[in-house]
Structure 1
Amino acid sequence: MEIIATSSPLGSEIFALVSLLVISIGVLLLLRHYLPLRSTPAYLTVPIFFALGLPASIILLVPIDLASNARNQDAGSRGIWLPKGVLLVSWRISYWLTFCLTWFILPILAEYSDAGYRDPKDRLLYSLRSNAKYQAIVLGAGIATMIYILVSYGVHVDSFKATLMALAYCWGLVLAIYLMGHGLVAIPRSLFRNASISGRLKRIQVNAVKVHDKMEDAIQNLEDLEAQVAELAKRKTGSATQYRDWIEELADESHLPESRPRTLSRRMSAPEVNVPHVITDRYLADLSRKLTRGRHSRARYLDEWDHVLHEATDVQAILDSAASKRIDIGQAAPDAPFMERLTIFTPYTRYLYKYWCLPYMRVFLGCFLSLASFCIVWSEIIKSINPYLSIIALTVVHHPTSEQGMIGFAGQVIAACWILYMCAAALTSLTEVKVWRGRALVKRNTHGESAAWYALQVSKLSVPLAFNFITFLALDIYERTVFYDFLGKLINLTDIGTWFNWLFPCFILVPVCAALFNLYGKVANCTGFGGVIDDDEEENESGYGTGSWREGRDLIERELQGHSSLGRLGQTSVDRRPQVPNNPNNRAAPTLSVPRAERAGSPAQASTTRASTAALHSGPKEPEDENFFEAFGHRVRNTLDTFQAPKLFDGVKRPKWMGGNDDSDAGGSGNDFTKWFGGSRDGRVRL
């Protein structure tokens, strides 16, 4: 679809305004999904909104800038275009607001919300002290860069602005290239892995062990902190009296450990509570900060555990539907949302969709995104050699010799999709690489400091990725854009900046190869931080204590059956199927089917049952000192023990001299054929 050429940008301006409105609504819905808006203060909500909305608008602004300047001024444009003055104002507002949010506003507000002090002045001073080291490093790098620019370029009005922009771009590009390279491999690989239903269930069960352990640790840590608050509340004299209001506030917000069920092992392993004799505001602030982080950590792992239960029950239902050709999800609760109560599929069509369609769709989408990842990596490498061989440039520029513009509406849509995928690959890696001080996004319960930190990373990565994208195109195209006049000229002000902008993206091969060949796992194994013992490990056949899928399967089954070690009992529906805890629509979750021979309630029972099952099928193991005749006799006895008597001998009684019983011992009454040869009940043969 192409827009009719016109000399008036009114239609394009309306389109841009409607797009900004849609982006704003999407950002609000995203904030509502992850943040409790009623309890989150406005000093966090408003900056986070702009930190997410401005990068999203940049994804829209780059294609408009490309089409607006790659056109003939007299013949109009094929796509959405805006005047140069409007574009320049838009770039100034978007860039400098993003810059201030990234380097000054959000870091200070994040530490302010996590300070733990009650007085706003003390919280601000704590935030400034926490950011002092970070700001000192930034200031030192800025001074060194400014000296280099002044020596190379001379004293000029743009020297200070070039220092700020070049530093922000270089640091953002280093982080963006690493994260994007990892995400370009991780996203298609996750789609390929999830295409296998049984493999997906096994990975969920392996992950269940890790999540369950972290959840228990988080609950234990929070209970210890709340016990410390309870002990502190008993202080009626000394230095605690001047902080009585603060201590009572902490006690009111805490749920004492006695109010929650605790297992025997957790009661016996509870550490002694040590409260200092002299209470200070710094100690109380540190305790408040730990309590806040502990509550959010507990909420995070409880949410992850519930998510694991939902996924496990859903995937198990898909596997179980192979025989019945039906997937029943039960009835939704009357107070559930409309979208939860709306069911489009019948049980049979739901089976076709989930069992057959979704796996093939994942494979197709994985192949498509793998091709897209290859195009991005290829374009990063080839642009410094010959930009005309860039695959991305060929998909965006559709009319290279047209007077109405080389980039039309279709090219703008494709360009926006490319930038969106690059940003998604980089941001997805933020949630996978667990080196961010325990920060996480939790549905409706994200910590304010974590939300500000993630918004900071989004605003930090958006501008470098957007400018890196336009360098995929030909030089005569992107040099005419307002974005290049505003940012690119200052980055290329010195020779080091020019070479860095052209050559550093080639290092994307490092994270791509590291993720593609599992270099992280190999390094972890070499350093002793490796993962799970193989399922075929002979020394620990049950797999307990190793984080195997068998242990995760039993944990999930016990939770769904209401036998959780945490005291979080599952409910039971009308049809007697266990339900997932905290299920918003209260639908009954399908029961996990576990083979009877391996069903167990404890690791010891599991290993005993598995050993007895193996002995039943293969017989007792032969001792090493057993001779040939003893081994042959044991094999004959096992053969006779499992031999079924033919129906021909039904009703024939065994004579008394063979040890028979006239009353009840018929030849066909038992399954032990050795009784015919004088065998006793313990399997020995009478000679």
Structure 2
Amino acid sequence: MSVAALGVIVVGVFFLALYLLHRYGDFGKQQPMVLFGTLLAWYLCFLIVFILPLDVSTTIYNQCKIYNALPPVPGSHSKTDQAQSNESILPTSSALKVCHEPWSYIPDGVLPVFWRVVYWTSQCLTWLLIPFMQSYARSGAFSRVGKIKTALIENGIYYGTYLLIFISLLIYVAAHPQWYLTWREFQTIGITAANTWGLFLLVLLLGYGLVEIPRSYWLASCHGYLLAKTYFKAAKMATEKAEAEENLADAMEVIGNIQDTSAARRCPVRPVVITAVQRQRQSQVQWSILLEQAVHLEDVAKSQGGPLRQVVHSFPSAQHATPLRRFIYTPTIEWYWECVFRRFFYRLAFLVLGALSLAVVWSECTFFSSQPVLSLFAVLIQMAEKQYNYICIEMACFVSIFFLCVCVYSTVFQIRVFNYYYLVPHHQTDAYSLQFSGMLFCRLTPPLCLNFLGLIHMDSAISHKDRIQTSYTSIMGSMRLLSVISDGFYIYYPMLILLLCFATYFKLGSRCLNLLGIQQYIREDDLTSDLVDEGMELLRRERRKRQRAEEGENRKSV
């Protein structure tokens, strides 16, 4: 059963990564190497998330076998005395009992090899191959040597930050004469440097997601808020659409002025034209999707107070639902969902996600305390461990890791840096953004999982307990080698999540962006109100255009 469970997860995660890549990428137009590199990066990161709970349950089972195999303590006269003495060594263990093998037990020796392959492959992707492929593809140099040179220069900042952290840690270890730099310790320093770099960014993204995800569900329950924000997006999207069309026209004019065909083929402005075409196509697709969303929200708003308990669509011909979906999701069922149940469902989701966020923030600020145990995740896992309830352990681990990943990954998917990096659904994401997301995932996932193991006190460097380590932790190396990291940075730096959560709650980032001229939706802001009114008027014009177009088609058909 264990081999089957591992195989199902490996195959299922692959199709999950493939589905997401299909949603954001374009299999027909983008280069195979770009798609393969992004797919591999996403796949390896998702594997870590799904396999780590099995590693935790397997470790607890192995710990149980070691605990029962401990020799009797001198002076003890019964099994109870031995159990009480052994509990002082292994605080999370209960009285002696039969160790039942987990349904997902993975044999010894499999996970260390698995983690070693997954981790080092992902690190090669994020630090070497993907950054190089990004710069090489965007380079405007004429020769391969020139492209390689440009790629190396552009990636100097990435390699430089990593080397700076690595060299600092190396000097710290070398300054202690009692330590000898073996290959294992050298490897641990490299892993620690990579995780330290990732933890810097992880805390920023996690602090944002822990607040914004629950709040987004609460706001999504308010139909008026959704409609106003859609109007705001329409005003911004109209400006971006016009700018994209102008940039494309300017780029095509420059290309048209080049008469020599061979010179045009070697002209360094060709990457600019390709980028302009991509941005124009992205804006056009997003504009069409935004129009459909706005029309749907307006139709629901009109149907809420109507005598018929049905959602009456303004443009029935524009609905792209399949016949089966139209048969099941009838206008009456749609009305009850949109006007009655949706509000309660989203507010219930807000309560659940808000409770998880509070648990994460509390645990991040208290997980360093082993006596008493204050981390809520550690308490939950230890309660299940005492009963050897492996299914509960795996489900708790998976839900916790999945929630952390959603908070981090969703923030990655929402990041937009001046249209330079932007993940757009409906197959509109460019090659650079796909590769950049894969690079971020590979850098964020290992420190995120290591942080989670600290939250549940399965990392002895954090909990200071004498127990066996998970296979994942054994591959990452013992952080006790670097006490300044294990006893300082890894414990106190995550506490900044509390400050970032407060900043996100009060929308300090959005307010700063508004001051810089990058409009963000803030309901009490005057500029936001102006853009909402502008977007409403734009959508009214588009609605009239669509109505006239449909009337013209109807007259032609008659």
Q: Same fold (TM over 0.5)?
A: yes
Partner of 1:190: 216
Q: Is the Cα contact below 8 Å between 2:291 and 2:539 reproduced in 1?
A: yes
Counterparts of 1:250-649 in structure 2, within 5 Å, are 284-285=267-268, 287-322=269-304, 323=306, 324-329=308-313, 338=322, 342-386=326-370, 388-402=373-387, 405=388, 407-435=389-417, 438-442=420-424, 443-474=426-457, 475=463, 476=465, 479-489=468-478, 491-498=479-486, 499-524=488-513, 547-562=530-545, 571-572=549-550
Identity of aligned residues (%): 21
How far apart in 2 are the matches of 1:483 and 1:175?
21
Which amino acid is 1:469 matched to? Answer: F
Distance 1:21 1:391, change over 3 A: same
Choose from 3, 15, 19 the match for 1:25.
Answer: 15
Please, which moves more after superposition, 21-30 or 469-478?
Answer: 469-478
SS in 1 for 2:469: coil
Which amino acid is 2:175 matched to? Answer: V
1:160 Cα offset (Å): 2.2
How far apart in 2 are the matches of 1:342 and 1:18?
33
Which amino acid is 1:131 matched to? Answer: N
Q: TM-score by structure 2 length?
A: 0.84
Unaligned runs of at least 5 residues, structure 2: 66-97, 458-462
How far apart in 1 are the matches of 2:469 and 2:271?
51
Q: Is the Cα contact below 8 Å between 1:398 and 1:408 reproduced in 2?
A: no
1:41 Cα offset (Å): 2.0
Which amino acid is 1:291 matched to? Answer: V
Distance 1:145 1:125, change over 3 A: same
Q: Is the Cα contact below 8 Å between 1:388 and 1:473 reproduced in 2?
A: no
How far apart in 1 are the matches of 2:263 and 2:186?
47
Select the structure with the greater relative contact order (CA < 8 A; seq sep ≥ 6): 2
Unaligned runs of at least 5 residues, structure 1: 1-10, 234-240, 250-280, 538-542, 564-568, 578-687
Please, which moves more after superposition, 130-139 or 444-453?
Answer: 130-139
1:175 equivalent to 2:194? Answer no
1:529 Cα offset (Å): 6.5
Give per-residue Cα distances to partners, 1:404-428, cap 9 Å, x unaligned: x3x5113212211211111111122
Choose from 112, 120, 123 the match for 2:147.
Answer: 123
How far apart in 2 are the matches of 1:372 and 1:440?
28
How far apart in 2 are the matches of 1:292 and 1:570?
34
How far apart in 2 are the matches of 1:146 and 1:521?
39
Aligned CA RMSD, in angstroms, stands at 2.9
Give per-residue Cα distances to partners, 1:514-546, cap 9 Å, x unaligned: 001222244456667676898897xxxxx8x97
SS in 2 for 1:43: helix
Distance 1:384 1:141, change over 3 A: closer
1:477 Cα offset (Å): 8.9
Which amino acid is 1:370 matched to? Answer: G
Please, which moves more after superposition, 298-307 or 16-25?
Answer: 298-307
Which amino acid is 2:119 matched to? Answer: Y
1:245 equivalent to 2:262? Answer yes
How far apart in 2 are the matches of 1:516 and 1:134?
31
Give per-residue Cα distances to partners, 1:625-660, cap 9 Å, x unaligned: xxxxxxxxxxxxxxxxxxxxxxxxxxxxxxxxxxxx
Choose from 113, 117, 127 the match for 1:103.
Answer: 127
Partner of 1:221: 247
How far apart in 2 are the matches of 1:295 and 1:145?
46
How far apart in 2 are the matches of 1:114 and 1:532?
33
How far apart in 1 are the matches of 2:124 and 2:160?
16
Distance 1:576 1:461, change over 3 A: farther
Please, which moves more after superposition, 289-298 or 308-317?
Answer: 289-298
1:397 Cα offset (Å): 4.0
Distance 1:534 1:146, change over 3 A: closer
Which amino acid is 1:395 matched to? Answer: L
How far apart in 2 are the matches of 1:570 and 1:35?
34
1:453 Cα offset (Å): 0.4
1:42 equivalent to 2:25? Answer no
How far apart in 1 are the matches of 2:226 and 2:522?
18
1:429 Cα offset (Å): 1.9
How far apart in 1 are the matches of 2:549 and 2:135?
40
Give per-residue Cα distances to partners, 1:429-479, cap 9 Å, x unaligned: 224443365211232132111110011111111111111001111334985
Distance 1:318 1:456, change over 3 A: same
How far apart in 2 are the matches of 1:107 and 1:529?
28
Give per-residue Cα distances to partners, 1:365-398, cap 9 Å, x unaligned: 0111011100111110111234722212233444
SS in 1 for 2:504: helix
Distance 1:470 1:530, change over 3 A: same
How far apart in 2 are the matches of 1:575 and 1:359?
38
What count of residue pairs does the alignment treat as equivalent?
507
1:327 Cα offset (Å): 1.2
1:231 equivalent to 2:257? Answer yes
Partner of 1:662: none
How far apart in 2 are the matches of 1:383 and 1:370?
19
Q: TM-score by structure 1 length?
A: 0.69
Distance 1:213 1:346, change over 3 A: same
1:110 Cα offset (Å): 1.4
Q: Is the Cα contact below 8 Å between 2:17 and 2:43 reproduced in 1?
A: yes
